[in-house]
């Protein structure tokens, strides 16, 4: 949590204003406490089948898990946390629940996004989940007790790519939609990027990208150009807090440095920290 501690002040500046049964001493199982009583609730992003899903199997049902602030401590801000995992899995044990607990303990309403990954969820499917998550939280802001203009997205590694790309592809929503969630903007009010995998779509000398090597056997370069946020970022990008690592063998820092420079050139409020640690520091 060393870098998260640095966000206590910066987060609000950038925003521009279940349970398991435990054995008792007698050896019998204690009664489980419903997760809702612990301030933890999980919501499906779509009431019916998710957009582009082929079934209702668990791997094709994207969700948001809510972690409420302690009673009387809520500050009205919210974060949607996108764990990493190279788009093949989700590192929620490292970059999900612990991060949500950290924010919630400081009065920030936290949501962990379980977006679709793997063989049935090639891009742009995860991005549909990212945009829907922002819309969903904004549409239900009153219900969750948050300010609809103080909703941020926090992304780690591949989740950082998801957060950045969600921000650059955001739109104001469709006011004519029959789905009230879709009438809301998908743009986060601020973004936190932790060792983001922003160059995963870059095409290498072999004509392929890191993403294709992880998730697909091959891909057409032109189809993946849109998934490089550095190519699309401009003055409308949300205020951003970035941290990266100098000894990161999975996601070299040079890509995020270029992204930072692009934000500075576009006059986007941005702050960046680079640590002498390896990939995966939270």
pLDDT in tens, 55-67: 888 889 999 999 9
> pLDDT digits over 20-68, tens only?
333 334 444 444 445 666 678 999 999 989 898 888 888 899 999 999 9
pLDDT in tens, 122-138: 889 999 999 999 999 99
Residue 191 has pLDDT above 80, yes or no: yes
pLDDT of residue 251: 80
Report pLDDT for 6: 56
Nearest Cα to Cα of residue 139 among 111, 167, 105: 111
Mean pLDDT of the chain: 85
Per-residue DSSP letter, 182: G
Mean local confidence (pLDDT), 242-249? 83
**Dist CA 267 CA 235 (whole Å):** 6
Domain parsing of the chain, residue ranges: 38-275
For the entire predicted model, the pTM comes to: 0.86
Could you tell me what percent of the chain has a pLDDT over 90? 59
3-class DSSP assignment, residue 136: helix
Kindly give the interhelix angle for 125-139 and 158-168, rounded to the nearest 10 degrees. Answer: 70
Instruction: Please give the pLDDT value at position 199.
Output: 82
Contacts of 80 (CB under 8 A, 6+ apart): 64, 111, 113, 133, 134, 137, 151, 152, 153, 154, 188
Just give the CATH number of 38-275.
Answer: 3.40.50.1820
Task: Answer whether residue 17 shows pLDDT above 60.
Answer: no
Q: Among the listed ranges 1-15, 139-153, 189-203, 237-251, which one has the minimum average pLDDT value?
A: 1-15
Task: Specify the 3-state DSSP secondary structure of 192.
Answer: strand
Class of residue 17 by CB neighbours under 10 A (exposed 0-12, middle 13-18, buried 19+): exposed
Nearest to 111 by CA among 119, 103, 120: 103
């Amino acid at each position: 949590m060393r870098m998260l501690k640095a966000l206590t002040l910066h987060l609000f500046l950038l925003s521009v204003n279940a349970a398991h049964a435990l054995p008792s001493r007698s050896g019998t199982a204690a009664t489980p406490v419903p997760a809702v009583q612990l301030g933890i609730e999980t919501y499906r992003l779509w009431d019916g089948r998710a957009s582009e899903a082929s079934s209702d199997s668990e791997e094709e049902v994207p969700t948001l898990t809510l972690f409420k602030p302690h009673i009387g401590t809520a500050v009205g801000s919210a974060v949607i946390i996108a764990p990493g995992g190279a788009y093949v899995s989700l590192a929620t044990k490292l970059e999900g629940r612990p991060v949500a607990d950290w924010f919630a303990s400081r009065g920030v309403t936290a949501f962990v996004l379980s977006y679709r990954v793997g063989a049935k969820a090639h891009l742009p499917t995860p991005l549909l989940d990212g945009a829907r998550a922002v819309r969903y939280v904004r549409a239900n802001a009153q219900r969750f007790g948050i300010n609809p203009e103080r909703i941020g997205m926090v992304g780690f590694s591949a989740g950082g790519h998801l957060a950045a790309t969600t921000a650059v592809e955001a739109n104001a929503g469709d006011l004519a939609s029959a789905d009230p969630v879709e009438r809301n903007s998908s743009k986060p009010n601020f973004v936190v990027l932790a060792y983001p995998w922003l160059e995963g779509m870059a095409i290498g000398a072999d004509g392929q990208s890191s993403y294709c090597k992880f998730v697909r056997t091959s891909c057409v370069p032109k189809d993946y150009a849109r998934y490089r946020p550095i190519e699309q970022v401009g003055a409308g990008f949300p205020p951003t807090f970035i941290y990266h690592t100098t000894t990161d063998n999975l996601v070299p820092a040079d890509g995020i440095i270029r992204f930072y420079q692009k934000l500075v050139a576009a006059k986007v409020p941005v702050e960046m920290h680079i640590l002498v640690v390896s990939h995966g520091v939270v």
